[in-house]
Structure formats: C-alpha cells, structure tokens
Amino acid sequence: MNAEKRARIFARLQEHNPNPTTELNWTTPFELLAAVLLSAQATDVGVNKATARLFPVAHTPQAIIDLGIDGLKSHIKTIGLYNTKAENLMKTCHILTERYAGEIPRTREELEALPGVGRKTANVILNTAFGELTMAVDTHIFRVSNRTRIAPGKNVLEVEKKLMRFVPKAYLKDAHHWLILHGRYTCLARKPRCGSCVIEDLCEFPDKVEIA
C-alpha cells in the first residue's frame, strides 16, 4: 500500500469519527491505568461496570491500598482473572505511592516496570492520558493492519513499528483509536462487514465479502 492511499484511509476515518477515544471510562491518568490493567482478556463494557463500583470508593493509588486486597477483589470480581489483576493493581499502587508520590510516570520504561503493565498498556497510557504519538497494537489493530495492508507484520511489535513509520503524522495521535474501533465494529475477525466499511474501496484485503 502506498503513502497516498494510507493518507486517504486515515482522512476517511477522521471524517467519520473526528474525535475518537477509548471506550473505557476514566477521568484521571491513574483511573485509565487501572482500567487498562483490568481490561486484559475482558471487554471494555465489563471493565466499565467494575470500575463504576470501584472508582467512587477508591480512585487513587493510596485509596486502593487503603481498600485492601480483599476489598479490591470484591469490587472487580466480575472481571476475568480478577485475582491476578487485583494483585498486580495493588502492587502497582504501592510502587506509585512509594516512588512517584501517587503520580503516573510518563516514560514507557517506567510504565512497563509496573506489575501487569506491558508495552501495549504503556502505549495506551502515553497516548490517551498524555497525548503522545504512540501506537498500542492489540488484536483488533493487528488484524486491521494486516487485512487492509496498511501495515502488515508477523507480530504486534512489527506492526507497531510499521504504523509509527507509515501513518501520516497528522493522524498519528488518533490512529490507535480509529483502528481499534474499526476492528471492533466493522472489520470483524470472522465476518468483516465490508459492505458497510467506510474504507472498503481503499482496502487491499483480497477476500472482501458482503455480510448481510
């Protein structure tokens, strides 16, 4: 795929969704970090239901610590793998209070050093909370990038690096959200909704199909 077509794709996505954002509910960088940490192998809807119970009670690292591990688990037990996630979130809260005065660090290296936080989560925080030009590649972005041929790659890191090179800089801040939403609602894994796709004519997927 050439640069002109990529630019047209992102211009089209921007036209149809000028202000894309995460579907996780959050109001502070810490709430976003907690929500993303809880979202692994879970839906945003499920996480939002849990954080709707948790955040009114505890929405800072110290408040989570004061809640205690059993109290934390009771608020997030509807989420898959909640025991492990509660342990990681609690350990992260202790690190944030002890090393960062309760604030969220703003480098990828520091974020990735937090329990339960990998490269994808760090990129989400840097992009969504702090407005940095990063690309958090999840299964949706990996699929869309390969299927459309925007940035084909054999693994998520290869796709991330290609997207950082190929996405026009004017669109890079929001590209992460456009691609996730496109993969979540249009370019589905098993039955892509090609007939209702706003970039269908620009897509290079060889097996485009009309799904009723």
Binding residues for [4Fe-4S] cluster: 187, 194, 197, 203
Rounded Cα gap, residues 183 and 150, in angstroms: 13
Query: CA-based angle 159:161:135, to the nearest 5?
Result: 80
Rounded Cα gap, residues 145 and 123, in angstroms: 17
120 included as an active-site residue: yes
Neighbours of 32 (CB within 10 A): 21
Catalytic position from the list 44, 49, 91, 120: 120
Rounded Cα gap, residues 23 and 158, in angstroms: 25
CB 155 within 8 A of CB 131: no
Query: CA-based angle 37:90:33, to the nearest 5?
Result: 30
Catalytic position from the list 138, 154, 174, 208: 138
Residue reference for tokens 């990998």: 118
Which residues make Cβ contacts (< 8 Å) with residue 102, sequence separation at least 6?
30, 60, 61, 62, 96
What's the full length of the chain, in residues? Answer: 212
CB 156 within 8 A of CB 142: yes
Active site residues: 120, 138
